[in-house]
């Protein structure tokens, strides 16, 4: 095993990802941020220096953090924010997992402003290693012209009437296009320079080579349908879990999900569009200035370096606004593991309720709308053994025994919600529209899909299980930033006895004294 050491500085910088300049929050000035790459078994050490005006924290999305829950990087859950002007060093090993992950700020909605990047773990045990020669990363995200803090403030005010801020454009590996002309001029903050025809991301392919394209939805709100003109996609991985290969032409990907697809460069030398079609049909309010066709270019060696391919949309299937994941029968894990028993079972309702007095629409998990602690974390509270949590803002479910846990997630809302569980993968036993009927609706109990982020359909349900064998305080939340900020987050206090004996570095706790985020 090797130690992978990184030094990062988070700062505010003005860049123009889609042609329009705006202040962004960036790691080492990069957008997306630096690649973290390691082998299974390696230690990852990242020294993060915070040079922005608010507190921050970095989460390693999909890392199990077995035995190092306090390195999970989640403000209010596993740590207090790193104060402005200070540094904190994350330090953890990756003992038992590989695949496509990502890292992002987990303080308020900061990652929407640019604090994210890819996290790739390699292993000689990967079953599809022999099928490809090159690795390519495509991070797809919605993009906004106004800082996310202002958008959240608006969203959580009576003015929004509960409708989410909608993107202005989208980016693939930090680049996109926005039409600076016409009516849309009025929509961006005055004084920010806008240039038409900003360069798109270009991926150089060699004819005959097979690529493993790792697609990461690092956005805050929108889900996408991904395709590459003239090229089939063979899905081999979802969220760090190897899959039996399945061929598609178009791939739906919701916020925080990842897929690896094999792409064989078997076409005529040329330029081809990479398309990430933003699923605007799943938004309440369209943005008239938004072009939902987010593009990049695959350029074969020897092809002219023209900016615009003339390839046509490869997907034969008509565009259908579904706002759901690939079906469970399409995605089958490569390695079978036993399905955990349902030793204990919880029902969790996802809903939005209007606080009448203030006309504010908040997200609720059962009866609780999450607000992050700022000068403490529920992990530290658990370790101190305070016994009870502030139930008005923290729904903490204690799981005292190492057993199987079933969750029935009901979505009472008109939108779909991509739910992520820290430190675990879900075994996805079923999902559907309408109501889940225990004992009537069949569940998949043989080699079901496993992944760390699942979409619960609008007015629908999802049943998942996991093994409660990873001690710590683990967040489970809607990964749409607007929704986690409005309260859609629950926490599982796994094996509290083991939490008591965690050796959490003093420097972590000391950050609580000066916290503000």
Q: How many CA atoms lie within 13 A of 289 on its CB side?
A: 19
214 lies in the binding site for ligand C2O (CB under 6 A)? no
Residues 70-99 that bind ligand C2O (CB under 6 A): 74
Residue 281, H or E segment: none
Q: Name the 3-class secondary structure at 469.
A: coil
Tell the smallest beta-carbon distance from residue 77 to ligand C2O (Å). Answer: 8
Report the residue number, 272 or 466, with the smaller CB distance to ligand C2O: 466
Q: What are the distances in angstroms from CA 512 to CA 8, 69, 338, 375, 484?
A: 21, 17, 41, 5, 22
Helix (H) and strand (E) counts for the chain?
5, 30
- 43-50 and 3-15 strand pairing: parallel
For residue 420, the cross-strand partners are: 453, 477
Q: How far is the CB of 104 from ligand C2O (least distance, A)?
A: 6
SS (H, E, C) 487-508: CCEEEEEECHHHHHCCCCCHHH
Size of the site for ligand C2O (CB under 6 A): 11
* Closer Cβ to ligand C2O, 106 or 465, answer by number: 106
Q: How far is the CB of 227 from ligand C2O (least distance, A)?
A: 24
Smallest gap from Cβ 114 to ligand C2O, in A, equals 15
What is the x/- site pattern for ligand C2O, positions 407-426, by CB under 6 A? -------------x-x----
Residue 393 Cα to chain centre, angstroms: 23
The answer to the question of residue 104 lying near ligand C2O (CB under 6 A) is yes
List beta partners, residue 386. none
CB of 453 to ligand C2O, least distance (A): 8
The least distance separating ligand C2O from the CB of residue 351, rounded to whole angstroms, comes to 20
Q: Which is nearer to ligand C2O, 254 or 422 (CB)?
A: 422
Q: What is the DSSP letter of 30?
A: B
Residue 57 touches ligand C2O, criterion: CB under 6 A: no
> How far is 284 from 290, CA to CA, in rounded Å?
14
> Closer CB to ligand C2O, residue 265 or residue 379?
379
Fill in the DSSP letter of residue 231. Answer: B
> Which CB atom, from 106 or from 483, has the smaller least distance to ligand C2O?
106
Q: Which of 19, 31, 57, 106 binds ligand C2O (CB under 6 A)?
A: 106
Smallest gap, in angstroms, from Cβ of residue 60 to ligand C2O? 9
Cα–Cα nearest to 499, from 473, 460, 463: 473
Smallest CA-to-CA distance from 136 within 263, 45, 29, 285 is with: 263
Cβ-proximal residue to ligand C2O, closest one: 61
Least distance to ligand C2O from the beta carbon of 74, Å? 6
Identify residues 227-286 at the interface with ligand C2O (CB under 6 A): 256
Cα separation of 276 and 280, whole Å?
12
The answer to whether residues 461 and 406 touch, using CB atoms and an 8 Å cutoff, is: no
CA distance 336 to 449: 10
CB 38 within 8 A of CB 44: yes
Quote the least distance from Cβ 5 to ligand C2O, whole Å.
23
Q: Which is nearer to ligand C2O, 221 or 314 (CB)?
A: 221
Which one of residues 46, 48, 57, 61 is an interface residue with ligand C2O (CB under 6 A)? 61
Compare residues 298 and 490 and give the one whose CB is closer to ligand C2O.
490
Judged by CB under 6 A, the chain residues 444 through 483 that form the site for ligand C2O are 475, 477, 479
Rounded CA separation 302/109 (Å): 42
Q: Which residues of 93-105 are buried (b: 16+ CB within 10 A; e: fewer)?
A: bbeebbbbbbbbb
Site for ligand C2O in 341-380 (CB under 6 A): none
| Cβ proximity of 172 and 276 under 8 Å | yes
Considering the complex, state which of residue 427 and residue 479 has its C-beta at the smaller distance from ligand C2O: 479
Q: Which is nearer to ligand C2O, 18 or 325 (CB)?
A: 325
SS3 for 184? Answer: helix
Among 38, 44, 59, 70, binds ligand C2O (CB under 6 A): 59
For residue 514, the minimal CB distance to ligand C2O (Å) is 23
Comparing CB distances to ligand C2O, the nearer of 106 and 417 is: 106
Q: Which is nearer to ligand C2O, 145 or 477 (CB)?
A: 477
Chain positions contacting ligand C2O, by CB under 6 A: 59, 61, 74, 104, 106, 256, 420, 422, 475, 477, 479
């Amino acid at each position: 095993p090797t130690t992978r050491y990184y030094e990062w500085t988070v700062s505010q910088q003005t860049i123009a990802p889609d042609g329009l300049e705006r202040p962004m929050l960036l790691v080492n000035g990069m957008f997306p941020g630096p690649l973290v790459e390691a082998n299974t078994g390696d230690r990852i050490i990242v020294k993060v220096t915070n040079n922005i005006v608010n507190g921050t924290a970095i989460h390693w999305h999909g890392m199990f953090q077995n035995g190092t829950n306090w390195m999970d990087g989640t403000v209010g859950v596993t740590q207090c924010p790193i104060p402005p002007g200070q540094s904190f060093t994350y330090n953890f090993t990756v003992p038992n997992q590989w695949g496509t992950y990502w890292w992002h700020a987990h303080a308020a909605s900061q990652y929407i402003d640019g604090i994210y990047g890819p996290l790739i773990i390699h292993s000689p045990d990967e079953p599809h290693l022999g099928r490809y020669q090159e690795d390519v990363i495509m991070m797809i995200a919605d993009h906004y012209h106004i800082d996310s803090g202002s958008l959240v403030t608006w969203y959580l005010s009576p003015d929004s009437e509960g409708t989410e801020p909608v993107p202005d454009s989208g980016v693939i590996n930090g680049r996109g296009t926005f039409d600076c002309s016409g009516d849309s001029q009025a929509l961006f903050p005055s004084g920010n320079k806008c240039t038409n025809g900003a360069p798109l991301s270009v991926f150089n392919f060699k004819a005959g080579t097979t690529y493993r394209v790792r697609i990461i939805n690092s956005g805050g709100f929108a889900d996408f349908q991904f395709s590459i003109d003239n090229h089939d996609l063979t899905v081999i991985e979802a969220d760090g879990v190897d899959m039996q290969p399945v061929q598609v032409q178009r791939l739906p990907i919701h916020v925080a999900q990842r897929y690896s697809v094999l792409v064989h460069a078997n076409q005529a030398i040329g330029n081809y569009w990479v398309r990430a079609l933003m699923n605007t049909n799943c938004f309440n309010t369209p943005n008239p200035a938004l072009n939902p066709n987010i593009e990049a270019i695959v350029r074969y060696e020897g092809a002219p370096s023209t900016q615009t391919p003339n390839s046509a949309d490869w997907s034969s299937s008509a565009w259908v606004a579904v706002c759901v994941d690939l079906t469970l029968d399409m995605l089958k894990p490569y390695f079978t593991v036993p399905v955990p028993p349902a030793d204990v079972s919880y029902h969790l309702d996802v809903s939005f309720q209007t606080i009448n007095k203030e006309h504010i629409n908040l997200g609720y998990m059962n009866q609780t709308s999450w607000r992050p602690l700022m000068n403490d974390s529920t992990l530290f509270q658990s370790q101190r053994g305070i016994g009870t949590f502030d139930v008005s803002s923290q729904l903490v479910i204690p799981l005292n025994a190492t057993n199987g846990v079933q969750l029935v997630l009901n979505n009472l809302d008109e939108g779909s919600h991509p739910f992520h569980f820290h430190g675990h993968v879900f075994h996805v036993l079923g999902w559907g529209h309408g109501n889940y009927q225990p004992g009537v609706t069949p569940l998949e109990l043989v080699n079901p899909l496993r992944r760390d982020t699942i979409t619960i359909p609008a007015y629908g349900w999802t049943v998942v299980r996991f093994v409660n064998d990873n001690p710590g305080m683990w967040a489970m939340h809607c990964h749409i930033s607007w929704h986690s900020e409005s309260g859609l987050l629950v926490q599982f206090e796994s094996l509290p006895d083991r939490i008591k004996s965690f050796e959490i570095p003093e420097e972590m706790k000391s950050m609580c004294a000066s916290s503000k985020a």
